[in-house]
């Protein structure tokens, strides 16, 4: 009876840590882990060893939450914000890496948009200073120069965004190693990785 209580306690704690996920995702994960544990015990593996291989419920939940956020469309602002908060709090270096990479990417993207707007405003006669060093760009060339600089700034923003995504993947891999091997396969197929 003690083993069943220990299993139920683990599942209960896992459910608690899975709260950021939609209820259907939570239930699918709980069913998967519970099945993995029951099958392992049924085939003679000690429950303690199975639980140890999964890690703490909070660490295991972080792996599943990270996978969920990585599989979601970044176009939805609420998901993007939750993703940023999750990965910012997911490790010792994550706050610095996430804020630096995300902030740098956003700053370059904003700069690209502002340069393009400034170039267009200047073409239509607005008194917008448009200089490259000490050289003032002629009004008629402003859109062309704006396009070139916006492109370069946009590419830089995409570079830092790619580094941010790579950081998210690295954090996720750290937690994913706790998944039962059958769930790694199922997750990979479910999310089309």
Stretch 119-145: mean pLDDT:
90
Instruction: Note the pLDDT of residue 193.
Output: 39
How do residues 34-50 score in pLDDT, each as one tens digit? 988 888 888 888 888 88
Instruction: Give the angle subtended at the CA of 181 by the CAs of 177 and 182, to the nearest 5°.
Output: 140
Burial annotation 99-126 (CB, 10 A radius, 16+ → b, else e): eebbebbeebbebbeebbebbeebbeee
Q: Is the pLDDT of residue 129 over 80?
A: yes
Torsion sign (Cα): 39, 43, 47, 50: negative
187 pLDDT band, cuts 50/70/90, is very low
Instruction: Note the pLDDT of residue 85.
Output: 79
Nearest-angstrom CA–CA distance, 47 and 98: 37
Stretch 97-119: mean pLDDT:
93
Instruction: Note the pLDDT of residue 114.
Output: 95
181 pLDDT band, cuts 50/70/90, is low
Instruction: Note the pLDDT of residue 185.
Output: 37
Nearest-angstrom CA–CA distance, 178 and 176: 5
| 99-107 long-range contacts, CB within 8 A, separation 24+ | 101/160, 101/161, 101/163, 101/164, 101/167, 102/164, 104/160, 105/157, 105/158, 105/160, 105/161, 105/164, 106/157, 107/157
Instruction: Note the pLDDT of residue 154.
Output: 96
Indicate the average pLDDT of the chain: 84
How do residues 41-74 score in pLDDT, each as one tens digit? 888 888 888 888 888 898 889 888 888 888 877 6
Stretch 86-113: mean pLDDT:
86
**Of 105, 112, 109, whose CA–CA distance to 161 is shortest?**
105
Instruction: Note the pLDDT of residue 178.
Output: 66
Q: What is the DSSP letter of 56?
A: -
In terms of Cβ atoms closer than 10 Å to its own Cβ (0-12, 13-18, 19+), residue 48 is exposed
Instruction: Note the pLDDT of residue 15.
Output: 94
Q: Phi/psi of residue 135, each to 5°?
A: -85, 125
Instruction: Note the pLDDT of residue 144.
Output: 94
């Amino acid at each position: 009876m003690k083993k069943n209580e220990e299993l139920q306690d683990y599942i209960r704690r896992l459910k608690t840590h899975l709260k950021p996920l939609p209820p259907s995702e939570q239930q699918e994960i709980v069913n998967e882990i519970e099945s993995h544990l029951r099958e392992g015990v049924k085939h003679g593996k000690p429950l303690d060893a199975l639980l140890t291989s999964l890690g703490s419920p909070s660490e295991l939940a972080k792996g599943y939450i990270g996978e969920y956020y990585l599989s979601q469309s970044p176009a939805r602002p609420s998901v993007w914000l939750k993703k940023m908060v999750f990965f910012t709090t997911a490790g010792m270096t994550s706050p610095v890496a996430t804020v630096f990479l995300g902030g740098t990417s956003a700053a370059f993207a904003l700069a690209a948009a502002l340069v393009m707007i400034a170039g267009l405003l200047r073409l239509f006669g607005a008194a917008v200073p448009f200089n490259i060093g000490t050289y003032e760009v002629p009004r008629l060339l402003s859109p062309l120069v704006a396009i070139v600089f916006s492109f370069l700034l946009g590419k830089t923003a995409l570079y830092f965004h790619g580094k941010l995504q790579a950081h998210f993947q690295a954090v996720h891999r750290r937690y994913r190693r706790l998944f039962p091997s059958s769930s790694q396969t199922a997750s990979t197929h479910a999310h089309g990785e």
